Amino acid sequence: MNYIGSKYSLLGAIRALLADRGIRPPGTFFDAFAGTTIVGQMAKTLGFSTISNDLQAYSQVLARAFLVNNDPPRFAGLDLSGGDSSAFLARTSPFGVAKGAVDIRSGDFAPLVRVLAYLDGLPGTAGAFTEAYVEGGSAGRLYFSRANGMRCQAIRDQISGWQREGAITDLEAAILVASLLESLDQVANTASVYAAYLKHLKGTAQARMTLRVPALIFGDAVHEAYIGDTNALADQLAGREIAVMYVDPPYNQRQYNSYYHILETVASWDLDAFVPRGKTGLRPARRQDSQYCRRPQAADALIDLVERVPADQVIVSYNDEGLVDRDQLRALLGRRSTGDDDFREFSYRRFRADADGPTRSYSGSEVFEYLYAIRTRRQAVV
Ligand X SMILES: C[S@@+](CC[C@H](N)C(=O)[O-])C[C@H]1O[C@@H](n2cnc3c(N)ncnc32)[C@H](O)[C@@H]1O
Q: Which is nearer to ligand X, 48 or 292 (CB)?
A: 292
Q: Interface with ligand X includes 259 (CB under 6 A)?
A: no
Please identify, among the stretches 28-36, 154-162, 167-175, 361-369, the one whose residues bind ligand X according to the rule CB under 6 A.
28-36
**One residue of 92, 148, 290, 319 binding ligand X per CB under 6 A:** 290
Q: For 30, left (φ over 0), alpha (ψ -120 to 50), or beta?
A: beta
Residues 217-246 that bind ligand X (CB under 6 A): 229-230
Min CB(126)–ligand X separation in Å: 31
> Applying CB under 6 A, what is the total number of residues that bind ligand X?
22
> CA–CA separation, 193 vs 206, rounded Å?
17
Q: Using CB under 6 A, which of 14, 55, 175, 306 touches ligand X?
A: 55
Nearest Cα to Cα of residue 34 among 83, 67, 75? 67
Nearer to ligand X, 45 or 145 (CB): 45
**For 215, what's the count of Cα atoms within 13 Å in the CB-facing half-sphere?**
17
- Terminal CA-to-CA distance of the chain, rounded, Å? 48
Give the nearer residue to ligand X in terms of CB position, either 55 or 217.
55
> Is 343:304 a contact under the CB 8 Å cutoff?
no
| Contact with ligand X (CB under 6 A) among 30, 109, 197, 292 | 292
Using the rule CB under 6 A, give the single segment among 51-59, 115-123, 146-154, 368-376 that binds ligand X. Answer: 51-59
**Nearest residue to 67 via CA among 170, 218, 183:** 218
Q: In Å, what is the CA distance from 303 to each residue of 86, 133, 337, 376? A: 52, 39, 11, 12
State how far the Cα of 218 lies from the Cα of 44, in Å rounded to an integer.
9
Contact 274, 303 (CB under 8 A): no
What H or E segment, with its residue span, contains residue 110? helix 110-120
Piece in contact with ligand X (CB under 6 A), picked from 33-41, 106-114, 173-181, 341-349? 33-41
Amino acid of residue 22:
G
> Shortest distance, CB of residue 256 to ligand X, whole angstroms?
4
Nearest-approach distance from CB 272 to ligand X, in angstroms: 24
By CB under 6 A, tell whether 53 contacts ligand X: yes
Residue 152: CB minimum distance to ligand X, A? 22
Phi and psi (nearest 5°) for 67? -105, -60
Are 61 and 160 within 8 A, CB to CB? no
One residue of 28, 45, 52, 56 binding ligand X per CB under 6 A: 56
Is residue 319 involved in binding ligand X (CB under 6 A)?
A: no
Q: Which residues bind ligand X (CB under 6 A)?
A: 3, 5-7, 33, 35-36, 38-39, 53-56, 59, 229-230, 248-250, 256, 290, 292
